[in-house]
Structure 1
Amino acid sequence: MGHEYAFDWLDQMVHELDPQRTEPERLDNYQSIAIVEKAASEKKRLILLFKQFVFREQKTRQIRNSVNHYLSAAVSLMKIANNNLNQIPTKANNFRLALESVFSCLSEVSAFIVNRYRSHVDRDISLNLVNITPDAHDLRTLGNRDAMKSNLKLSKLVTEAFSDIFSDHRGGEITMRKLDYWVSVSHAVTYPNGLLEMTTPFEQLELIMIERNFNSPLFVKYLVSKFSEGIANSEDPSSRVQALTFLQKTFNQIPVMKDIIFNNQFEDLTLTINSWFIQEINFHSERSGTVFSDLGEQTQKASKKYERKTSDKVLCNLTVDQLSIFFKAADLSNIISARSLSAIFQSVAPYLSTPHRTDISHSSLRVKSYSVEERDKSLLIDIMTRLTEQIRDL
């Protein structure tokens, strides 16, 4: 697309059709119709432009950068337009019609970009205002499927989690990551894998959600309740330990899909559930007075999975804020890759220290990555510039 800004007219209209900067009632019928017709024409022009877009950009990275540049621009403009729509006086119908046509154009063009270049879209960019409907993977319409019918309690929990995002809008921003997640769940419910049905003591829907890292706190509570009920009939602590180890072994044998997670702000489901198993097994082991040497060794290793001595760590002369920016940028540019940015932080945090922080938690890195300070960005850019010069001198 060269240096052309494809949204020039739409950008202009969004800012001109601001009820705080003009008098909405003064926009006449002729002006309104002209804007509506122009918006319809712009939609056709932009969709055609983005259809040809992939042939103009030769490198995948260039395509990805341009796709996200325009999608981010469209989302920003839609937010402004949506805010303006909420401030239009009741009687300014022409003004409202004109701005709605501009907003609709942005939403439909954005939806085209998302659908056309799905694999290039930033996984966490907000799609709330984009004209995307979840009809093709709406779990609320799949209640008659065997997986859903056989476990009504979990079916309700899963359906409500879906509705929180796509219907009630209580589950945060709609993103491509979330969209792909629920497409995967819907497909698994519609076309179940027969091999999963053989894994007892888990039901089909449970297996589907464990396989897809459904790390919702409500699902964790559901599983913990299920496991607790599973050992309730065990008469003594020793038999409860045996029952728990069987459940843990079976749980860990369920394959977990790579690069998929319900909410990347929570720990992986496997980590959370195994932590619960470790605590429960230790508790009942102490009550029974039985020594489980192999189990003790395994639980000790698991509980210390993310612990490292300071002497084993790499001292990094950056602040935690700067480290979070560095790894976030490396993830976005695909220099490093993992299931999620949170997974990257979990992997690297135990091995790093700073002059001011001996122990760095992955949660602190994650939190810092949400609110990037300009000063930290500038300092990190200076450091990377020195690094670039060092590489040239090698």
Structure 2
Amino acid sequence: MQWKKIRHASFCCITVNQNRSMMIRKYPLEWLDALILRNLVQNRNIINITEQELAMICDAIQKEALNIEIQIKDEVFATTKKSEVRLLIRKYHSYFIFLIDKIAENRKNDRYKTKSILQISQTIVDTLSNLLSFIETRFDEYLSLDQRVPLTYLQVSRRELMLRLRNIKKIECDITEDCKTLDLIIDSFNQHFQSRNAPKSTYRLLRYQKNLLHLIEKFNFERKDGNFFSLLDEKLINLNFNSADYYSYIITRIAAHLTAKNQKSGKLAFLLIVFKELNQIESSEKICFDPGQSNIKVSVTNWIKYETQYIEKSIELNIGQKEMTVSKEELQHDLLKEKVECILSTDQIGLILRAGDESRILKAKSMNQVFKSIVPYLSTSQKRDLSYKSMRSKSYTAEERDKEIAIKTLERIIKHIQQY
């Protein structure tokens, strides 16, 4: 291994890897380890280095990171057992985090307030973060992604995410719904970062957040005419961006379209179209933005189903009420058609009905009930619709002539019965 010294007179202890051996080194982090744990803390001469030397050191750090990345690939390629690869990857992953933690701890030292050390330490943190991202992306199957992220690494990662969120906020978007969705994504991230009740930050969740922001940064905002869900919606549903605010936003948009439609049939047709669109979008069940919330596609689908059922029941009830109304009208119409015409007058009919009640031939709760039950089905040659109340009242004040006609009518009935 050949090493080239980067020095300005007194700065002779910081060395840079010049030529990389094709053989796998026993400890590939030796140079970074020495720089972080020893030189930045103990070497007094590093404070007084020139701008040129500072640039060379930062460049050497990035080159060393590239060598480490190649070293990891070589070691994985040379290992045949999956268990050994898992151990190797987790070892690198945990030590990168350890070095980031040491940088954070050392920053409490006054030496880290100087420009040179501050810039070198930040370059190291950025480089180690990239190495972590490389491992988490390339060898995620060997990592335990549900472990809690160490606080220092989490702070570094969130600073990166916050910077990317600020850049996303500057994205120009011509689609009104997508602009609101971008604002909602930013708010959801901020709420997650600030909430004390937010789920614990695991490597899986952190990787999800990074991937989501990367997708938005590279996203081509295009309008998808004729569809309720935009291309951005499709991507977010695909990634299971199950933020409670995003779910509420989608439901609010659907409800607004329903309110604008007057006919229930139109509402139902719209819901069926949205349901069809949603059903054609794939949504991951393995990843999510908020582990405490249900899958975004499942939640929206359930809401649409319940709303559809409600409208269908409402339509059925309306039809039932109309049918009941029609039935009553038809019944009344039939009653009018099936009235029995009597040759007697209203007063004469009333006398016979009163006599039938008082002689207990017709039995009902009251005389009023007798008249109410029979009179609507009768008519006279002079009047088609008879009032049972009026008939009952007149039965008490009938004239002698009406009595005679009623009696003669009953006698005619007797004669007919006798002839049977």
TM (normalized to structure 1)?
Answer: 0.52
Matches of 2:91 and 2:74 in 1, distance apart?
17
Q: What SS does the corresponding residue of 1:177 show, helix, strand or coil?
A: helix
Matches of 2:87 and 2:271 in 1, distance apart?
49
Which residue type is aligned with residue 133 of structure 2?
A: V
Matches of 1:42 and 1:139 in 2, distance apart?
29
Aligned to 2:97: 75
After superposition, residues 196-207 of structure 1 pair within 5 angstroms as 197-198=224-225, 200-207=227-234
1:57 counterpart = 2:76:
yes
Shift of 1:109: 3.8
Shift of 1:232: 1.4
Which residue type is aligned with residue 57 of structure 1?
A: V
1:224 counterpart = 2:251:
yes
Which residue type is aligned with residue 30 of structure 1?
A: N
- Write out per-residue CA displacement over residues 278-309 of structure 1, whole angstroms, 9 at most, x where no aligned residue: 33334444545559xxxxxxxxxxxxxxxxxx
Which residue type is aligned with residue 226 of structure 1?
A: R
Contact 1:17 1:99 in 2 (8 A): no
Q: What SS does the corresponding residue of 1:201 show, helix, strand or coil?
A: coil
Aligned length: 273
Which residue type is aligned with residue 93 of structure 2?
A: L
Aligned to 1:382: none
Q: Of residues 51, 58, 66 in structure 2, which corresponds to 1:47?
A: 66
Which residue type is aligned with residue 70 of structure 2?
A: K
Which residue type is aligned with residue 211 of structure 2?
A: D
- Write out per-residue CA displacement over residues 330-381 of structure 1, whole angstroms, 9 at most, x where no aligned residue: xxxxxxxxxxxxxxxxxxxxxxxxxxxxxxxxxxxxxxxxxxxxxxxxxxxx
Q: Residue 150 and residue 245 in structure 1: after superposition, are their counterparts in 2 closer, same or farther (change >3 A)? A: closer
Matches of 1:283 and 1:9 in 2, distance apart?
68
Which residue type is aligned with residue 66 of structure 1?
A: L
Q: What SS does the corresponding residue of 2:220 show, helix, strand or coil?
A: helix
Higher relative contact order (CA 8 A, sep 6+): 1
- Write out per-residue CA displacement over residues 123-154 of structure 1, whole angstroms, 9 at most, x where no aligned residue: 6765652696876995334314x4x4664323
Contact 2:238 2:284 in 1 (8 A): yes
Matches of 1:156 and 1:97 in 2, distance apart?
38
After superposition, residues 157-196 of structure 1 pair within 5 angstroms as 157-161=184-188, 175-189=206-220, 192=222
Which residue type is aligned with residue 79 of structure 1?
A: D
Q: Residue 41 and residue 238 in structure 1: after superposition, are their counterparts in 2 closer, same or farther (change >3 A)? A: closer
Matches of 1:287 and 1:47 in 2, distance apart?
66
Q: Residue 70 and residue 106 in structure 1: after superposition, are their counterparts in 2 closer, same or farther (change >3 A)? A: farther
1:273 counterpart = 2:292:
no
Aligned to 1:119: 138
Shift of 1:44: 3.9
Which residue type is aligned with residue 105 of structure 1?
A: I
Aligned to 1:88: 109
Percent pairwise identity: 14
Aligned to 2:368: none
Q: What SS does the corresponding residue of 1:209 show, helix, strand or coil?
A: helix
Contact 2:240 2:285 in 1 (8 A): no
Shift of 1:215: 1.5
Aligned to 1:153: 180
Matches of 1:257 and 1:45 in 2, distance apart?
37
Shift of 1:70: 1.6
Contact 2:24 2:74 in 1 (8 A): no
Aligned to 1:139: 168
Contact 2:261 2:267 in 1 (8 A): yes
After superposition, residues 8-27 of structure 1 pair within 5 angstroms as 10=32
Contact 2:61 2:123 in 1 (8 A): no
RMSD of aligned alpha carbons: 4.8
Contact 1:155 1:205 in 2 (8 A): no
Q: Residue 65 and residue 96 in structure 1: after superposition, are their counterparts in 2 closer, same or farther (change >3 A)? A: farther
Matches of 1:285 and 1:253 in 2, distance apart?
23
Shift of 1:249: 2.8
Q: Residue 80 and residue 240 in structure 1: after superposition, are their counterparts in 2 closer, same or farther (change >3 A)? A: same
Which residue type is aligned with residue 138 of structure 2?
A: S
Q: What SS does the corresponding residue of 2:208 show, helix, strand or coil?
A: helix
Which residue type is aligned with residue 109 of structure 2?
A: I
Contact 2:178 2:232 in 1 (8 A): yes
Shift of 1:221: 0.7
Q: What SS does the corresponding residue of 2:228 show, helix, strand or coil?
A: coil
Q: Residue 248 and residue 153 in structure 1: after superposition, are their counterparts in 2 closer, same or farther (change >3 A)? A: same
Matches of 1:137 and 1:115 in 2, distance apart?
24
Which residue type is aligned with residue 137 of structure 2?
A: R
Q: What SS does the corresponding residue of 2:242 show, helix, strand or coil?
A: coil
Contact 1:47 1:109 in 2 (8 A): no
Shift of 1:248: 2.2
Shift of 1:113: 5.4
Q: Residue 45 and residue 271 in structure 1: after superposition, are their counterparts in 2 closer, same or farther (change >3 A)? A: same
Q: Residue 232 and residue 41 in structure 1: after superposition, are their counterparts in 2 closer, same or farther (change >3 A)? A: closer
Q: What SS does the corresponding residue of 1:175 show, helix, strand or coil?
A: helix
Contact 1:213 1:262 in 2 (8 A): yes
More displaced stretch, 273-282 vs 132-141:
132-141
Shift of 1:225: 0.5
TM (normalized to structure 2)?
Answer: 0.49
Q: What SS does the corresponding residue of 1:69 show, helix, strand or coil?
A: helix
Contact 2:242 2:289 in 1 (8 A): yes
Shift of 1:108: 1.0
Aligned to 1:29: 44
**Structure 2 gap ranges (5+):** 1-22, 319-420
Shift of 1:224: 0.7
Matches of 2:293 and 2:281 in 1, distance apart?
20
Matches of 2:247 and 2:219 in 1, distance apart?
20
After superposition, residues 258-269 of structure 1 pair within 5 angstroms as 261-269=288-296
